Amino acid sequence: MTKTATAAVLTATPSAPGLDDVIAAETRLSHVDGQAGELIIAGHRLADLAASSFEEVLALLWRDFLPEPMDAAAIRIALGKARQKTFDLMQPLLPGLRGLSPVEALRLLLSALPDDARAPHAVLAVAAVPVFTAAITRHAKGLAPVPPDASRGHSEDFLRMLRNEQSAPDKVRALDTYLVTVSDHGLNASTFTARVIASTKAGMFSSVVGGLCALKGPLHGGAPGPVLDMLDAIGSERNILPWLEDSLARGERLMGFGHRIYRVRDPRADVLKGAVAALQDGSGRIAFAARVEAEALRLLKEKKPLRPLETNVEFYTALVLEAVGFPRDSFTNVFAAGRMAGWTGHVLEQEQTGRLIRPQSRYIGVMPD
């Protein structure tokens, strides 16, 4: 085709800002059906995976891509060793975190991991996020980091490094369910970013740091903190209805509701609602949140009849992470701890099967005379 003909074809091709509905990758890792409200991860419905450990889900996501096959038990051992390794790498960098937000601090620490590391990169990346997140949270309070214990499961050790004490089994289970629930979700913005970088053969850590940078934005991984802000602002039973009505009348969005892909209830919301209900924390927080949710759903139906707006993953994420003991400014980092499973899987898949991702742009500027 001549140059002029190519330009004409490109001009005629409809552009898709936001890439809505564009298929930009083929993957065996996960599938999101927004009409049916279904999430399939590595061949399993989320509801069926919810009782699995995070290590079991990692084994599913990585099974076709690791140089040596690893089952969940082998992954648990490898993650323990890799937590220790990343803890040692992190120590000298901690003074440099001053003044950074938790997610900026995580970005800095992850960037320090070399793309040519010898251990399986995916294992190191997944191991690193809890080690760094716990240390960042403690560092902000002037507390020393707690070294990992390689003999423990990943979620159990995450909470132990955060709180410097053993957490109750129901809290460990709730965190594990959370990490499984957010482990992968199709070609979301951060996963796409990681795949674009991986497609240039830049390497694992460059790719997942890019994923984290995309996750950081308030339109992607930044919503669960504001859900708690909303619950705090409502404050009491009798304020639920007036607060929600005022907020909607001002044209504001209710945090934890609506989704770009799901037109029905986000299946992750139900899994996390179950996880938080199992905690029975006795504070009344969860029952209060459920009443806010019911009222919000009723009002959204009434005020926005043409747009199905249902509860999304972030509403119950906020409650799970608060109940297991994370401060709200660390929620995006905990999201990254789970989503690292998917990012690493997609990077490995892209490296193995993909092609350089290089779309076109439509020039709308001035042409030379």
Catalytic residue list: 259, 314
Tell the smallest beta-carbon distance from residue 55 to ligand ACO (Å).
23
Q: Taking a C-beta distance cutoff of 8 angstroms, is the pair 343, 62 a contact?
A: no
Instruction: Round to whole Å and give the CA distance between 95 and 101.
Output: 14
| Contact pick of 258, 308, 325, 327 for ligand ACO (by CB under 6 A) | 258
Q: Look-up: residue for tokens 């859900």?
A: 227
Residue nearest to ligand ACO (CB): 258
Does position 212 bind ligand ACO by CB under 6 A?
no
- For ligand ACO, give the closer residue by CB, 301 or 307: 307
- Looking at residue 58, its amino acid is L
Tell the smallest beta-carbon distance from residue 177 to ligand ACO (Å).
16
**Edge-to-edge strand ranges of the sheet holding 44-45:** 30-33, 38-41, 44-45
Tell the smallest beta-carbon distance from residue 289 to ligand ACO (Å).
14
Does position 29 bind ligand ACO by CB under 6 A?
no
Tell the smallest beta-carbon distance from residue 291 to ligand ACO (Å).
17
Does position 312 bind ligand ACO by CB under 6 A?
yes
Does position 322 bind ligand ACO by CB under 6 A?
no
Written in H, E and C, the secondary structure of 330-358 is HHHHHHHHHHHHHHHHHHHHHHHHCCCCC
| Contact pick of 75, 122, 254, 289 for ligand ACO (by CB under 6 A) | 254
Does position 307 bind ligand ACO by CB under 6 A?
yes
| Contact pick of 79, 212, 313, 334 for ligand ACO (by CB under 6 A) | 313
Tell the smallest beta-carbon distance from residue 259 to ligand ACO (Å).
5
Instruction: Round to whole Å and give the CA distance between 312 and 265.
Output: 7
Q: Taking a C-beta distance cutoff of 8 angstroms, is the pair 347, 204 a contact?
A: yes
Q: How many CB atoms lie within 10 A of CB 1?
A: 8
Give the three-state DSSP class for 133: helix
Site for ligand ACO in 96-115 (CB under 6 A): none
| Contact pick of 259, 273, 339, 346 for ligand ACO (by CB under 6 A) | 259
Does position 260 bind ligand ACO by CB under 6 A?
yes
Does position 301 bind ligand ACO by CB under 6 A?
no
Does position 304 bind ligand ACO by CB under 6 A?
yes
- Looking at residue 251, its amino acid is G
Instruction: Round to whole Å and give the CA distance between 19 and 256.
Output: 24
- For ligand ACO, give the closer residue by CB, 174 or 223: 223
Does position 256 bind ligand ACO by CB under 6 A?
yes
- Looking at residue 301, its amino acid is K
Does position 298 bind ligand ACO by CB under 6 A?
no
**Residue 311 DSSP one-character state:** B
Tell the smallest beta-carbon distance from residue 331 to ligand ACO (Å).
11
Token pair recorded at residue 279? 């905690």
Q: Look-up: residue for tokens 């990758």?
A: 25
| Contact pick of 180, 204, 309, 336 for ligand ACO (by CB under 6 A) | 309
Does position 291 bind ligand ACO by CB under 6 A?
no
| Contact pick of 44, 81, 220, 263 for ligand ACO (by CB under 6 A) | 220
Instruction: Round to whole Å and give the CA distance between 108 and 36.
Output: 39
Tell the smallest beta-carbon distance from residue 253 to ligand ACO (Å).
4
**Residue 173 DSSP one-character state:** H
Token pair recorded at residue 257? 């509701």
- Looking at residue 171, its amino acid is K
Taking the CA of residue 284 as centre, how many other CA atoms within 13 Å lie in the half-sphere pointing to its CB? 4
Interaction site with ligand ACO (CB under 6 A): 219-220, 223, 253-260, 304, 307, 309, 312-314
